Amino acid sequence: MCGIFGYFGPKKNATEIVIDGLKKLEYRGYDSWGVAYKTKDDIKIHRQIGKIGEAHLVVEDVEDIEESIAIGHSRWATHGGVTQANAHPHTTENREIVLAHNGIIENYLELKEVLVQKGHIFTSETDSEVLAHLIEEEMKNDNFLSATKKALHQVEGRYAALVISKKENKIIASRRGSPLIIGIGEDGERFIASDIPAFLKHTKKVQYLDDNELVVIDAQATTFYNLETDEKVEKRIIEIEWTEESAEKGDFKHFMLKEIMEQKETLYRAINQDAGLIEQVADAIKNAFGTYLIGCGTAGKVCMTAEYMFSSIAKKHVNTAFGSEFPNYHHFLTNKSLVIAVSQSGETADTLEALEIAKAKGAKIISIVNVETSTMARMSDIVIPIKAGPEKAVASTKATTSQLAILMLVAYAAADRLYEGKEILVSAAGQINDMLNPRYEEHIQQLAEKIQHAESMYIIGRASNYPMALESAIKLQEVSYIHAEGFAGGELKHGPIALISQGTPCIVLVGADETRKAILSNAMEIRARGGYIIGVSPQKEEVFDYWIRVPDCETASPIVNIIPVQILAYQLALLRKNDPDMPRNLAKSVTVK
């Protein structure tokens, strides 16, 4: 959820580098932030509520230091309210230890009780502060590195932590379930962050910290340890393909709009997969004794859509579960089961926990991810990269359609019709390229102006467009803050139709298939009760009050139908004075349970 950034190197403007890195991580979501930097004899800390904005700190006493060291953190509140005292980095009474921490320490109350009895004084409500005090307590009898290792052995839960000490020129970092990546720069520079875009302007060379590992960054080396065995670990340096430009807005006002428009290209990249890899996954599905698709939020809706695709295209049954609910299915897992995880970041805590359960049962794991060196990818037997490039807006757009395209390819491969599926998707990508033009945006903006004051909206669909109705609701909720709900068209008359009143906007997702007549009949039922019908359809229908045209793309209908809703959500956000890139209360990567 939160963002972490650290710098170790010869440059004396370490604090500026860290603040710039935190700005690059703003898309992860936060409500307060802070930085800490080392001087020759002390550690200075600055913490603040709100956005980083144009922050510039007056940095003192750094000209005579040997190495420049700073750490920073952008916090999304979990334990304790949004206050300056709860902002990171956290320290101890004598400021010996300073720490930035993501995740949740599940046993912090028990640890805190013991530490208070030993005389430690806490100044925040957070679970994170416990770890700083715990390290300080262990340092009474041990050095900084050993004390940090011993403290980490005592905490339960998921974490990513950066720690610095007043007495030593080094950064110690460790992770369990929350991402941390090291960037290798020039002249001994090292960066450490929650996500690659934070240091992409400085280096493309990275080393990945795995779960239950610790790294020591000092003037001599970058040394990795396995926390469970205390043995050193060798890490290779990987050069990533992302460019700094791909992680920036360019001429677009917001990342969300940029990423919507990038679907002209990202769909082609998703489709242009190694056919052998797609067929390998299809064969795994054919040979599995039970296949489970798992994801959270938008990725969960993608999985639900794929369930329909496998049924209609490949005549195969696959199971779908949200990552947070998957532990309830562990009774059915065996070493013949197949679990396919879908995620943009590859770091979603609930999905990772589900994969840990699957791995313990001996199940085969496949991941469909945008970050192919993520934790999820490294846990998997097979990885399909969606190749969407950095997605920084909290509301997922281009990653969603790329995930749908890949799962559709796999469904066709499972039916031994991969080439046919690729043809349909290439045609759909071409028509989406034509669709995404300024006139189309303007047409949807006019609709947004008509409905911007609505208190509630409803979206209906059938078959594979039903999960896209649920996903449409997520998009509208995330950035417009309008109460939105998605329903299966046939379920309206079983209760939800009671919510329809005069002028209530209702989006109808129409597929050019056997469900067309039924969903239009549902639209008639809504209109008869005063609803305002917005049709997303290849052709104009009499029941529509407002028509948004989409191309007829056969089985790729869910992919083309969600795009105009993405644009509508964005336009509504602007009209309602919301920030579409950083919605309130939300974070891009949900790395806590």
Dihedral class, residue 49 (left if φ above 0, else alpha if ψ from -120 to 50, else beta)? beta
Nearest alpha-carbon partner for 2 in 108, 160, 222: 160
Which amino acid does the sequence have at 455?
E
Give the 3-state secondary structure of 359-396: HHCCCEEEEEECCCCCHHHHHCCEEEECCCCCCCCCCC
Exposed/middle/buried for 452, CB within 10 Å: 0-12, 13-18, 19+?
middle
For residue 250, count other CB atoms closer than 10 A to its CB. Answer: 8
Confirm whether 44 is a catalytic residue: no
Angle of helix 557-575 relative to helix 398-414, nearest 10 degrees, comes to 170
Contact (CB, 8 A) for 380 and 341: yes
Q: What is the dihedral of CA 389, 390, 391, 392, to 10 degrees?
A: -160
Residues 215 and 8: their CA atoms lie apart, in Å, by 13
From the list 23, 24, 392, 588, the catalytic residue is: 588
Confirm whether 506 is a catalytic residue: no
From the list 2, 303, 506, 553, the catalytic residue is: 2
- Helix then strand then coil, in percent of the chain rounded to 5, is 40, 25, 40
Give Dmax (Cα) for the chain. Answer: 79
Using CA atoms, how far residue 317 sits from 490, 491, 550, 554, in Å, is 22, 23, 29, 21
Nearest alpha-carbon partner for 317 in 306, 329, 328, 331: 306
Catalytic residues: 2, 588
